[in-house]
Amino acid sequence: MFIKQLYTGCLSEAAYYIESAGEAAIIDPLRDIDIYLQLARERKASIRYIFETHFHADFVSGHLDLAKVTGAPIVYGPKTETNFPIYKATDGEVFILGEISIEVLHTPGHTLESSCYLAREANGKPYAIFTGDTLFVGDVGRPDLSSGNLDKDELAGMLYDSLRSKILPLPDDLIVYPAHGPGSSCGKNLGPNTFSTLADEKAGNYALKEQSREDFIKAVTEGLETPPNYFPINARINKEGYESLEAVLNSGLKPLDQAEFSRIIKEEDAILLDTRRADLFTRGFIPGSISIGLDGRFAEWAGSLLPFDKPIVLVTTPGEEKESVVRLARVGFDKMKGYLDGGFEKWVQAGQPTDMIVDVEADELAMDIPFDENLVVLDVRRETEFADGHVRGAINIPLNDLVDPFSMANLEDHHNIYLHCGGGYRSIIAASFLKRHGIHNLRNVAGGWASIQKEPRIEIVRENSVLN
């Protein structure tokens, strides 16, 4: 048996390639399927099955395109209803793959159709379980994303039963391969590793310890942050179907001269998205641009902050056009209209208007705080980060909320706004949104909170009541 975890860091997502005796299966593929096809070619294997653990909310699956190319069936577990052909497996159904077998374990709780796939060796011994969002390293899937007519407490109760009846009885040496690793919003606080063993999870995962059903429900439902805005959109796309990635690439990789680029923005009300690194964006950008750099959790922030019903035109670092389009497509963006040919440098050479963001060090903020009555420290970290420590008197508007114009109601251009996040990535995104809404008197604190808390002249406070 050959198993390869194919991990995508910016989405904290794990797909899997499983192979035995020249036959392969893919579990939870991303929308860009070339990596699975290439791996099968290299290993001289044919892809027989495409297994889906559930309707993913945080990315668009590659199941349709992969099935079209390979002819392999798309397999879901019980309780699955789609707008395209699938093979709906029964609980306990076994699929033969070369010399091994893969058993479907219906494990509702994260979603109604959630299922795990248990891989057994040729002798029938359980070897690995692919748990999707049912069981993570150190955590379990949140029960508030796709409930049908059920509330999160009812789904959490189902998850309690699924874990105890289907997973806990399995051997301790079983390898646990989840669909996500640290940073994913599909759980509350995933551990640092991307796979584990059942013995380690029994020992360290709060959800698998001995506890009553009521205590379990309380543990998994308390402290859930609001899921990203794009989660229900992606879940619907995965259920209903989508345009092929090839068609999206054909449109998104169209080079646009400056006249056509400007026309699309003006006449089609297109979003101007700049995917260059934050440090390049601060030095100069096209007015009205939104900055979301490829060097961070790009797709996740794009899905959370950008509208899905508007066309997008791109400014990228030359050579990163395809990566930008593919990573947008992974979270369901299909309306890319092209990219600025020659990029920002050619725009500057043509004498077109530009804007910039001023970076300042934490010591400059420290010097200005006592003397500037119009100074506003705007902290765009999450509420829990803010509660754990912040500049005295700072305003907290998390980046997710800042895109709402109403959240900017108390910010005016006569304010001297010092903007920061944890390390600098989110604050540049925030600065681009503020600039789009006419707020230009702002400075980005380089290094963010990591730098601020090292500056002894800045008073730091902690909101213990919020944390407790």
Q: Is 319 exposed, middle or buried (0-12, 13-18, 19+ CB in 10 A)?
A: exposed
- Residuewise pLDDT in 10s, the chain (468 residues): 999 999 999 899 999 999 999 999 999 999 999 999 999 999 999 999 999 999 999 999 999 999 999 999 999 999 999 999 999 999 999 999 999 999 999 999 999 999 999 999 999 999 999 999 999 999 999 999 865 678 999 999 999 999 999 999 999 999 999 999 999 999 988 999 999 999 999 999 999 999 999 999 999 999 888 888 899 999 999 999 999 999 999 999 999 999 999 999 999 999 999 999 999 999 999 999 999 999 999 999 999 999 999 999 999 999 999 999 999 999 999 999 999 999 999 999 999 999 999 999 999 999 999 988 889 999 999 999 999 999 999 999 999 998 877 677 678 778 899 999 999 999 999 999 999 988 999 999 999 999 999 999 999 999 764 443
Cβ of 309: how many Cβ atoms within 10 Å?
5
DSSP 303-317: HHHS-SSS-EEEE--
- Spell out the domains of the chain, with CATH numbers in brackets: 2-233 (3.60.15.10), 243-349 (3.40.250.10), 358-467 (3.40.250.10)
Tell me the residue length of the chain. Answer: 468
For residue 279, the SS3 value is: helix
How much is the pTM? 0.92
Q: Is 456 exposed, middle or buried (0-12, 13-18, 19+ CB in 10 A)?
A: exposed
CA distances from 120 to 46, 51, 130, 427 (A): 20, 16, 12, 48
Q: Report how far residue 222's alpha carbon sits from residue 69's, in angstroms, rounded to the nearest whole number.
A: 43
Instruction: Judge contact between 113 and 54, C-beta under 8 A.
Output: yes
CA distances from 3 to 25, 70, 136 (A): 10, 19, 18
Whole-number pLDDT of residue 145: 86
Q: Report how far residue 350's alpha carbon sits from residue 352's, in angstroms, rounded to the nearest whole number.
A: 6
Residue 430 in tokens: 């925030």
Question: Strand ranges (DSSP E) for 271-362?
Answer: 271-274, 290-291, 312-315, 336-340, 358-360
CA distances from 257 to 182, 314, 315, 333, 338 (A): 41, 12, 12, 22, 10
Q: Report how far residue 77's alpha carbon sits from residue 92's, in angstroms, rounded to the nearest whole number.
A: 10
Instruction: Judge contact between 312 and 306, C-beta under 8 A.
Output: yes
Q: Report how far residue 412's alpha carbon sits from residue 421's, in angstroms, rounded to the nearest whole number.
A: 20
Instruction: Judge contact between 282 and 357, C-beta under 8 A.
Output: yes
Whole-number pLDDT of residue 373: 85
